[in-house]
Amino acid sequence: MSNAFDRYENATRCAERFLSDHNLTSLPVDPVIIAKDLGIEIHAKPAKSEGASGMLLRVGEAYAIAYATHIESPGFRRFSISHELGHYLLPGHIEAVLDATGIHESLAGFRSDNVYEKEADSFAAGLLMPSKLFSVAVMNTEPGLEAIEELSSLCITSFPATAIRYVKFADYPVAVVVSTGQSIDFCAMSDAFKALRELEWLKKAHPVPRSSHTYTFNQNKKKVLEADRIEGISSIHTWFGAGPAWELIEEVIGLGAYGKTLTVLRPIIPEQDEVDEEEQEFERDLIESWTPRFHK
């Protein structure tokens, strides 16, 4: 386990501790109420730089959070506010992120490589989808896109943020991929999926496999913007180059105004009995074909 991993886990746990210290034990968690209880004002404000999600501002002794007005998704807005709360509550953040004028502009949503931004994102994930409540919720869902939809409406979180948290708690093999056009933004896998042998891990900017349903889907921008969806069968080899020769259920949904697509990949695992039976049958045939037959 690397130190980098620890620091993000710690940021998540810090948010979870805050919730239990304040007796916030049900979903959805409301970051706006939390901010108000902390005496932090919240404003909608156009961002200075393009793509910024929000800001933490210090005015004298007081603090304020601004979220970018271009953010229409309630899930992403709540994530952005939680990200700023992370900067406010995580040790060392205020000192590190505020500039000389007392302003920090954020790039929330796992889009930045900056350590403080990633910590604030991990805090936001833990605040809106705390382990204890979220893991129970995951167990009550059917695997696949349906689970992400249910969890997203339960926690009021965006599909990508929910998907990343979902694979962390799923105890079966499942992977989620977010792509833009023909390029992969990120892929996250459950531990049971990571355990499959010889997988080639999908990295940022890796091309979407040409023979996948996602590739075809992303060629039609209208489908992405209109949050259309498709489902089909592909294979582990199509997506990951190697690994077991299993088929995958590929569920694809456009993420609307984001211009991005979410793909959920679930292997169809052959029943162990089936594998055994096939092997036995194969052996029987082999023995029969090599057994000399004696005729009277």
State in angstroms the smallest separation of the CB of 158 from Zn ion: 17
Q: Which residue, 117 or 251, is less far from Zn ion as judged by CB?
A: 117
Q: Which residue, 106 or 263, is less far from Zn ion as judged by CB?
A: 106
State in angstroms the smallest separation of the CB of 274 from Zn ion: 50
User: Any contact of residue 238 with Zn ion (CB under 5 A)?
Assistant: no
By CB under 5 A, name the one of 12, 106, 179, 218 that touches Zn ion: 106
147: how many CB neighbours lie within 10 A of its CB? Answer: 23
Q: Which residue, 16 or 117, is less far from Zn ion as judged by CB?
A: 117
Q: Report the C-alpha gap between 114 and 236 in whole angstroms.
A: 32
Q: Which range in 40-48, 105-113, 212-220, 278-286 contacts Zn ion by CB under 5 A?
A: 105-113
Q: Which positions ≥6 away from 58 have C-beta within 8 Å? A: 94, 98, 102, 103
Q: Which positions ≥6 away from 258 have C-beta within 8 Å? A: 73, 160
Q: Is residue 148 a contact partner of residue 170, using CB atoms and an 8 Å limit? A: no
Q: Which range in 23-31, 119-127, 144-152, 215-223 contacts Zn ion by CB under 5 A?
A: 119-127
Q: Report the C-alpha gap between 179 and 21 in whole angstroms.
A: 38
Q: Which residue, 81 or 176, is less far from Zn ion as judged by CB?
A: 81
Q: At which residue do the structure tokens 């499959």 appear?
A: 196
Q: Which range in 117-125, 224-232, 238-246, 272-280 contacts Zn ion by CB under 5 A?
A: 117-125
* Cβ-closest position to Zn ion: 106
Nearest in space to 79 (alpha carbons), one of 5, 3, 165: 165
CA 155 to chain CA mean position, Å: 14
Q: Which residue, 106 or 212, is less far from Zn ion as judged by CB?
A: 106
Nearest in space to 213 (alpha carbons), one of 258, 242, 251: 251
Q: Which range in 116-124, 156-164, 167-175, 197-205 contacts Zn ion by CB under 5 A?
A: 116-124
What is the binding site for Zn ion (CB under 5 A)?
Answer: 106, 117, 120
